[in-house]
Structure 1
């Protein structure tokens, strides 16, 4: 039984600043409750160390879709945590951005299952987004974010042009289906 959480928050920074700050994964412990460390292991993979309710967990994630200035999608690939998620960014105007998070988590054990039924994960994500809002509004101009695209499946398509920097790369429908177990959300949903 998995749990899906969706939360949205508006931040008082331009879209580029919100996206850049979100892609600084190493900063997650400053605004995500229970996250002790996120260490980037390569361009698409990160190692996480968390402690929630006294239980320490370590797991690895993989970015399965990154569209600069638009969205970042990930999934766990190793460890005892099973989750998939996507965060998307929508410009409201030159100085404001809507940030949407959808997260699907498979709880372990009776305590986690009970916590999920009681909405604990939903409240945690909501709190994390509030702390992200404070964090990004304070640190909106920090350098060092990863902005380049990642294609679903991680490999270049045959015949696809090479891109760099901020050029989004759209996956084919088949690539999106294979690389992202959750159906890609319509633009108006996430």
Structure 2
């Protein structure tokens, strides 16, 4: 598995940032390659993605969620997408929040493994956080 860790400062209060992040169905508005996220219940989401011409569908399960602090998840089922991660939220003051994302991903196939070696995953995660920042500010 490959581990990616990125952090960004968002110019918005903690509650606003956390509440927006938990609107999973809005992820396609700022996450590259995410076409749709359907929240099935309080813990399960179904994802449709398309990256570099490859379409995938998979489910994620929220493993741990502490309001205004963190959300951790993992993929579930027999699909070929294997990942787990955690996003944490830290109030810097009344109007600024630090968002930290740690993601473990198991690249599939030659193209994904090559892209991983070239740092594409890190760039994508960094870009997603920057787009989230722009989206919420």
Q: Alpha-carbon deviation of 1:40?
A: 0.4
Q: Alpha-carbon deviation of 1:120?
A: 0.2
How far, CA to CA, are the matches of 2:98 and 2:116 in structure 1? Answer: 25
Unaligned runs of 5+ in 2: none
**Does the alignment pair 1:39 with 2:35?**
no
Give 1:102's aligned residue: 102
- Is contact 1:65–1:73 with CA below 8 Å preserved after alignment? yes
Q: Alpha-carbon deviation of 1:105?
A: 0.1
Give 1:133's aligned residue: 133
How far, CA to CA, are the matches of 1:134 and 1:80 in structure 2? Answer: 32
TM-score, length basis structure 2: 0.98
How far, CA to CA, are the matches of 1:130 and 1:75 in structure 2? Answer: 23
How far, CA to CA, are the matches of 2:86 and 2:114 in structure 1? Answer: 24
TM-score, length basis structure 1: 0.71
Q: Alpha-carbon deviation of 1:135?
A: 0.8
Tell me how many residue pairs correspond in the alignment.
136
Larger-gyration structure (1/2): 1
| Structure whose residues are more often strand by fraction | 2
Give 2:25's aligned residue: 26
Q: Alpha-carbon deviation of 1:95?
A: 0.1
SS in 2 for 1:33: coil
- Matching of residues 44-55 of structure 1 within 5 Å: 44-55=43-54
* Structure 1 ranges of 4+ moved more than 4 A: none
Unaligned runs of 5+ in 1: 138-190
User: For the aligned residues, what is the CA RMSD?
Assistant: 0.5
How far, CA to CA, are the matches of 1:20 and 1:42 in structure 2? Answer: 17
Higher relative contact order (CA 8 A, sep 6+): 2
Give 1:93's aligned residue: 93
